[in-house]
Every structure is written in structure tokens, then in C-alpha cells.
Structure 1
């Protein structure tokens, strides 16, 4: 048996985008074929267009369900968010994934966190999602690996739609990070720990860790 965990250990914010202190929403997505898109494996096995649409919608729901949304209050310039001595698990699994992608967004926004979560989840009910689904079906029609292509498109669409939902103007964005990991390069022995990793803007520095292990239960 295997065990896997991806943890967020610390975030350091240089500029909180406010005059004084503010409320910061932290949104994280962990995505990847091993993580939350198994429904797409059936894309190549069916010719029914409505079933394909349903599979894309199911995969999108799965991506949305992977989100972690938290609020940190009274954040000032230079603030360091620490998550105890164990870190905060953004993703756990009973098997070590071959690969996964991590998207992280920090926003200064006063909206209620529950209402914001509901807005994010409603993305797949928007008219734009039907148009997106049609575009994906056209995109993957002649693809040799439609599941992989559709998966990339879904994650890109979801995160873009989330960004549009959360951002009132460009000054609201505090930090944004995209990272891709694979077992062979980044955690061949099941472990990885990095501190002070800059985000895309250079405004946020991230500490994270990966731990994966294979074990045999005592009763086996």
C-alpha cells in the first residue's frame, strides 16, 4: 500500500495590496490525470456526443471539488502565514501519483468566503461552460490522446473562470503560482521539500513539502 501527501508549510506576502491590513483569500487546486480526471478515460470509448458532454462536465466538477479555499485575516505587508509544525495538507491519497499540477492564487477581497465558494462552484452552470464544452469536443475530435488534451483544457478553463470570478481589478491579485510535478524528476524517493519558492509576481514566497511512502500493513 502507498500513502501520499502534499503540504503547504508557509506563505510570505511582501505587499498585501492594501493601505493597512486586509483579508486574503487563498485558493488552491491540485489537478492531474491521477488526481481527479478519471472520467475522461471514457472519452475515446464512446461516440455519443451527450455522453461526451457529461464526461467533460463530470471531470470539471471533480476539478472544482479539489479546491481548497481559506481566509486569512489582518494580513499586513511582510506577513508570514505559517501552518503549524506539520503544515496544511492540500492533497492526500492512498497511492503516489505519477504526476500532478498545483495552482495557487492569493486575492485581497472582502467577499464572504462561503458566497465566494458557491460562486466558484457555479462556474459549470454558466452559459459559457456549454460553449467551452463544444470547443473541447471539436479540439479532441482528432486527438490521439483526447483525455489528456481535454484535461488540460478543463483545468485551464476552470482556473481562468475562477480568476475572473475572484478578481475585481488587477490590484486585488496578491500572488499566483503554477507548478507541475512528476514522480521521476521531483520526488523519485517519495520526498521533496522547498522553501522560499517565488510565485509568478515575486510578491509571494512559498514553502511546501511532498511525502510519499510504500508500506505493508501489519495484518498482511
Structure 2
């Protein structure tokens, strides 16, 4: 079994304005979190058909499959009354962002935090919503170029999956953002089993994100299930 969880987050600035003259008082924020995990061994569509045949139907099918894989790992959650530089705990057991039967050899985590008063369902678009997103057409062209450069990549399908996860995360963040809202944090981090969790366990505290505004704690916990013991009856 394999579990990846977030335990705590902290924001230097929650994006709010103090209640008194913009300087004094409390500024509470509603914060939405979007999380995606891309495995290095995830099942992927036949990308060769997309590249070689230049078939629009094959292209759409491949894109749908990549987006489907991304959405299957999506976790959405929210926390109210978040303050500047005050840790937000997800309880004593943390919040599981991904679990699997087998320990992955490598995976990439994409995570976005947004100050937003909108309903969380605004970020819960399906495959067709993502394909209709502004900028998806140009993004898919760039993605095709990445896949064509597969000879320079150890795992082009994995690289493509990571890029799709980043696009979907940012699309969700945009759907949650209105005037006065803003993104508070973003993470794209890759983990390799031999280096980062060779024994199946990794715990890190107060890790800073790519914006420098968010700090977070996370835990990786994986183990192999013991095989059942079959006891044979002795012949009498």
C-alpha cells in the first residue's frame, strides 16, 4: 500500500486586507486547494498514433485520455478562516492526497492553493470542460512538440502527464478566482523511490513552495502487504 498526504500548510500572506485601515485587525481567508498526482507508470494512450498519423480524432482521443488520467487523481478541499503565518493543520492524521495498492517508482505532485470565496465545485470541471478551456488548443500544440521530442526524454508519456496536470490545476485555479482573489501557493514536485523514499517512508516539514508564500508538511508512507500464509493440513 502507498499513501501520500499533506499534514499542514502555512501562508506568509493570505491575500487579505486587515479590517481596520488595512493595517490592524484580523484578515481571514477562505482557501481552496487543488491536488493532482502523476505516476511515471500510469497507463497512457497510444501517443505514437497522435504524432505519426496527425489524425484529429486520434489527437482528441489521446488528449481526453491524458486529461482523464489527471482528473482521476484530483483532490479538492477547502479551509476557512486562514490567517497570515498561522499554520493550518489537517488533523493529527493529515489529509490523504493519493493512495495506491503498489508503491510507485516515481510520481509528480501538482498542488495549487487559491484565496477564493467561490464554491469549490467551480473547479470541478470534467474532461470536456478542460478541452474547452481558453488556451487549451495552443497548449495541446506545445504538448505535441514535447512528445515529438521524446527521443530526448526518458519517459515522454510521463512528461506529458505532468504538463497536463499543471494545465488542469491552473485552469481550476482560474475558475475559482474573481476580482480580489489570488493564488497563494503552487507546487510541482517530483519524487523518485530509490532517492526519496527507498524504505517507503519520507516526512518533511516546513517545505517552501515555488512562490515563497506557502510552507507545507507532507508524509509519504508505503509498505508491501504480507502474503497470506497457506497452511496445509497434515495427513493423518
Decide: shared fold, TM above 0.5. Answer: yes
Which one has more relative contact order, counting CA pairs under 8 Å at least 6 apart?
A: 1
1:147-174 alpha-carbon deviations (Å, 9 max, x no partner): 2453344234333433444444796121
Task: Note closer, same or farther for the CA distance 1:120–1:165 as it changes in structure 2 (3 Å cut).
Answer: farther
1:89 paired with 2:96, answer yes
Gaps of 5+ in 1: none
Q: What does the per-residue CA deviation read over 1:99-132, in whole Å, with 9 as the maximum and x for residues that have no partner? A: 1111221111111111232389722233643443
In structure 2, the residue corresponding to 1:189 is in which secondary structure? coil
Match of residue 10, structure 1, among 2, 8, 11? 8
**TM-score scaled by length of structure 1:** 0.83
Distance, in Å, in 1 between the alignment partners of 2:49 and 2:157 is: 11
Which of 38, 57, 61 matches 2:64? 57
Identify which of 26, 35, 40 aligns with 1:33: 40
Match of residue 221, structure 2, among 178, 190, 211: 211
Q: 1:152 to 1:85 in 2, by over 3 A?
A: closer
Alignment TM-score, normalising by the size of structure 2: 0.78
Shift of 1:52: 4.0
Task: Give secondary structure in 2 for the equivalent of 1:28.
Answer: strand
Q: Deviations over 1:18-71 (max 9, x none)?
A: 12112111111111333xx4123x223675522243022211122123221111
Aligned partners of 1:90 and 1:69: how far apart in 2? 9
Provide the secondary structure at the position in 2 that maps to 1:105: strand
Q: Which residue of 1 aligns with 2:118?
A: 111
Q: Distance in 2 between matches of 1:78 and 1:142?
A: 43
TM-superposition CA deviations, 1:160-213 (whole Å, max 9, x none): 433444444796121122211000100011110011111122222111000111
Unaligned 5+ segments in structure 2 are 18-26, 231-236
Aligned length: 215
Q: How big is the alpha-carbon RMSD for the aligned residues of Structure 1 and Structure 2?
A: 2.7
